[in-house]
A = this chain, B = another copy of it.
């Protein structure tokens, strides 16, 4: 496995990471050039000079995962946003700020990110996958909310809130003014869960 800040990644891990990166890079390049649906995994594997089987060994979640972060990474940032929120900020405000700073809601992103976000936004398969990955964080976010609310186990109410929160970016992205829709949604959620 790739050592996250361990003694020093050996040659094996470096090569593995390089292969993975080559696949991700090739995928992004081809998707941007020709559109997600017009690129086959075979072409991506060839561009990265690997076998198709290797591609799926690195990205078992499939073609979409080649350019989208998994729930692990997302959950990390989400956790940080909640746990390290400024003193006096409500959980829901922190979550609102977290999403407002991300992909589709922040216009001040470096071009490198921008093109990627636009690609996802205009590709239904990718957007659906992104939503799924967020929603997969529901149980963990519910735990986080329980922690913030000072209870041991998340109950129905917190699971419902977690789901609504994670559903919101998807929903808001379909509206003409994405940022306004996001704000509107969080305003209502704060009414429904006044203590969070």
> Which residue from B157, B163, B164, B171 sits with its C-beta under 8 Å from A159?
B171
- The interface residues of chain B lying within 8 Å CB-to-CB of A193 are 188
- CA A181 to CA B161, docked complex, whole Å: 11
Q: Is A177 in the interface zone, CB < 8 Å from B?
A: yes
Mask: chain A, 21-56; 1 = CB below 8 Å from B; 0 = not: 000000000000000000000000000000000000
- The interface residues of chain B lying within 8 Å CB-to-CB of A188 are 157, 160-161, 192-193
Q: Which of A160, A180, A185 has the most CB of B within 10 A?
A: A160
Question: Which bracket fits the contact residues of A?
Answer: 20 to 34
In the complex formed, the residue of B with least CB distance to A161 is B188
Q: Is A84 in the interface zone, CB < 8 Å from B?
A: no
Q: Is A184 in the interface zone, CB < 8 Å from B?
A: yes
In the complex formed, the residue of B with least CB distance to A174 is B159
- CA A184 to CA B157, docked complex, whole Å: 6
A 147-190 contacts with B by CB, 8 A: 156-157, 159-161, 163-164, 167-168, 171-172, 174-175, 177, 180-181, 184-185, 188-189
- CA A92 to CA B77, docked complex, whole Å: 34
- CA A180 to CA B156, docked complex, whole Å: 8
A164/B161 in contact, CB under 8 A? no
Residues of A within 8 A of B (CB): 156-157, 159-161, 163-164, 167-168, 171-172, 174-175, 177, 180-181, 184-185, 188-189, 191-194
